[in-house]
Amino acid sequence: MRQPELSTAPRSQTRGATFLARFVSGNLRDSELAILLLAPSVVLLVGIMLYPMLNVFLMSLRVQNTLEPSMVTTGFENFSRLLADKRFLDAFTRTIWFGFLTVTGSFLIGLPLALLANLETGWRWLVRVALLLPWAMPQIITGTMFAWMFNSQYGVFNDILVRLGFERIYWLIRPDSATVAFVLTVIWKTSSFVALILLGGLQSIPLELSEAAQVDGATSTQVFWRITLPLLRPAIAVALIFRTLSALQVFDIPYAFMSAGASQSLETLGVYVQKQTVEFTDFGYGSTVSLGLFALSLVITVIYLRFIRPEES
């Protein structure tokens, strides 16, 4: 990268001048300018994310007596309580299982969507809007909408099932069908996101590559597996990590489902953290639970950096 040349301002204003003089004349040194420009971002990120996270670590040592909530001691009891907490362990495994299902599903649907959206048709704007809508909708509203559509008595999905001759399904009430409903809803919302990221990757693949391959006799399938997919790896990696991390934290959609009457079997880690901290106001234990969630995110991130993205130059 060629360094832009220094301004032709008089020497007195650059060499040996004080910081203030340089600032006023608009001729800061690169390193000074960098600090100035990056400072606000760093302040915000440290203040809103880093410092609170440190606080979470500290607060998890704050042990509240469950029988006498006003008694507060310091210690590691929260952690032993965590490992014995069945509700936490359920939420933990449930979150991982949901995460696996929704991430896989969103890619299985997202990739074909991206390929379709990449085609040149006259209706591209409609396709774009249809792809953007699920992404742009607030999660809490998506959850509420689908909770209504999955309603046992008056929901659309059951209506279609009945018209097709099948039995009604008590979607939200029974744990296993609630899981299916939840996973389908999340897949609906997130496959658009995956499709959009993959679309970017697709659009950066030069057309000449696949054309040349086809001239050499390759079929469409071969072009897809041998050329497209490998070149999509960076985009897939990006979509994968963002999707996985947000799947672990998922809160709005289970909350919406549970507000609409779904069984507690949908309680993910995110929901459990919120319940403990906001509804039960045991800040110490809530922080401990959220450390469990953070640990999970950390492990996933490390796995990602180690195995999926080792070619970071």
Partner 1 sequence: MNSQVRDKTFWQKIMIVVALVVLVVNGVYPLVWIFLTSIKNELELTQVPITYFPQTPNFGNYAQVFQAQPFARFFLNSLVISSLSTVLCVTVAAFAAYALARLRLRYRRIISIIIVAASMFPIVSLIVPLFQIMRGLGWLNTYWSLIIPYATFSLPISTLVLTAFFQGIPEDLESAAMIDGCSRFGALWRVIVPLAAPGVVTAAILAFVNSWNEFLLALTFNSAPDMKTVPVGVMLYQGEFSFPWPLISAAIIITIIPIMVLILIFQRRIISGLTAGGVKG
> Residues 235-254 vs partner 1: string with x where CB under 8 A?
x-xxx-xx--x--xx-xx--
> Candidates 71-79, 98-106, 175-183, 270-278 — which segment interacts with partner 1 by CB under 8 A?
270-278
Q: What is the 3-state secondary structure (H, E, C) of 255-268?
A: HHHHHCCCCHHHCC
Q: Is there binding between residue 20 and partner 1 (CB under 8 A)?
A: no
Least distance CB 103 / partner 1 (angstroms): 15
The DSSP H or E segment spanning 72 is: strand 72-74
Q: Integer distance in angstroms from the first to the last C-alpha of the chain? A: 17
Q: Is 2 exposed, middle or buried (0-12, 13-18, 19+ CB in 10 A)?
A: exposed
User: How many whole angstroms separate alpha carbon 271 and alpha carbon 158?
Assistant: 27
Helix axes 86-118, 77-84, angle to 10 degrees: 70
Among residues 163, 167, 221, 307, which is the contact residue for partner 1, using CB under 8 A?
Answer: 163
Q: Is there binding between residue 228 and partner 1 (CB under 8 A)?
A: yes
Enumerate residues 38-67 that contact partner 1 by CB under 8 A: 38, 40-41, 44-45, 47-53, 55-56, 59
Q: Is there binding between residue 172 and partner 1 (CB under 8 A)?
A: no
**Tokens found for residue 271:** 């929901």
**Considering all CA atoms of the chain, what is the largest pairwise distance in Å, rounded to the nearest integer?**
87
Least distance CB 73 / partner 1 (angstroms): 18
Among residues 173, 259, 264, 299, which is the contact residue for partner 1, using CB under 8 A?
Answer: 259
Grouping H, G, I as helix, E, B as strand and the rest as coil, residue 64 is strand
Which residue in 192, 191, 198, 190 sits closest to 238, CA to CA? 198
Grouping H, G, I as helix, E, B as strand and the rest as coil, residue 73 is strand
**Tokens found for residue 7:** 């301004």
User: How many whole angstroms separate alpha carbon 186 and alpha carbon 184?
Assistant: 6
Site size for partner 1 (CB under 8 A): 121
> Residues 75-104 vs partner 1: string with x where CB under 8 A?
------------------------------
In the DSSP assignment, the letter for residue 68 is: S
Cβ-based neighbour number of residue 78 at 10 Å? 23
Least distance CB 130 / partner 1 (angstroms): 3
Least distance CB 55 / partner 1 (angstroms): 4
Least distance CB 148 / partner 1 (angstroms): 6
Among residues 153, 217, 221, 310, which is the contact residue for partner 1, using CB under 8 A?
Answer: 153
> Candidates 69-77, 81-89, 98-106, 200-208 — which segment interacts with partner 1 by CB under 8 A?
200-208
Contact 82, 88 (CB under 8 A): yes
Q: Is there binding between residue 310 and partner 1 (CB under 8 A)?
A: no
Among residues 21, 173, 209, 303, which is the contact residue for partner 1, using CB under 8 A?
Answer: 209
Least distance CB 297 / partner 1 (angstroms): 5
Least distance CB 218 / partner 1 (angstroms): 13
